[in-house]
């Protein structure tokens, strides 16, 4: 699977940890984030990952900023993105199973490295359940239109 990753300056260290972890699981990572700690603007990275996922250049995305919130809001402005902030494993599973989230986000100032790995693993292993959940995804799509 190809996974787009994006981050701002608050999450550079965690981005590299997650990038290495995702690659160790056998996935390809496309890096859209900053690679240093110089102050930068997270909306650009949320947008870049969102556009890559919607264009099918990546199968899904991972976004990391200080809280995960700002960068996910930016990504959600891209038509077709369903980005969800996950600060625990249960949420990471459910956003895929019920919401078919195509991007997850979390905060480098909120979760530690090991929890971040667990969140990513839970998300990547989960599968969309469809059924009644698809009707709700369709409703979300209608809002975008």
Positions annotated as catalytic residues are 65, 98
39, 51, 86, 113, 115 from 60: Cα distances, Å: 26, 11, 15, 20, 19
Least Cα distance to 87 among 128, 114, 119 occurs for: 119
β strands within 2-137, DSSP E: 2-7, 28-31, 60-65, 83-85, 103-107
- Cβ atoms of 3 and 28 within 8 Å: the answer is yes
């Amino acid at each position: 699977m190809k996974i787009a990753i994006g981050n701002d300056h608050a999450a550079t260290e965690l981005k590299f940890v997650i990038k290495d972890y995702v690659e160790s699981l056998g996935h390809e990572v496309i890096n859209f984030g900053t690679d240093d700690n110089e102050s930068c603007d997270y909306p650009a990275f949320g947008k870049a990952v969102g556009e890559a996922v919607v264009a099918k250049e990546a199968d899904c995305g991972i976004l990391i900023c200080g809280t995960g919130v700002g960068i996910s809001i930016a990504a959600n402005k891209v038509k077709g993105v369903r980005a969800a902030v996950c600060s625990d494993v249960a949420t990471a599973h459910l956003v895929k199973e019920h919401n078919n989230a195509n991007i997850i986000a979390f905060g480098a100032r909120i979760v530690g490295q090991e929890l971040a790995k667990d969140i990513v693993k839970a998300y990547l292993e989960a599968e969309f359940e469809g059924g009644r959940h698809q009707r709700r995804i369709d409703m979300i799509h209608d809002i975008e239109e």
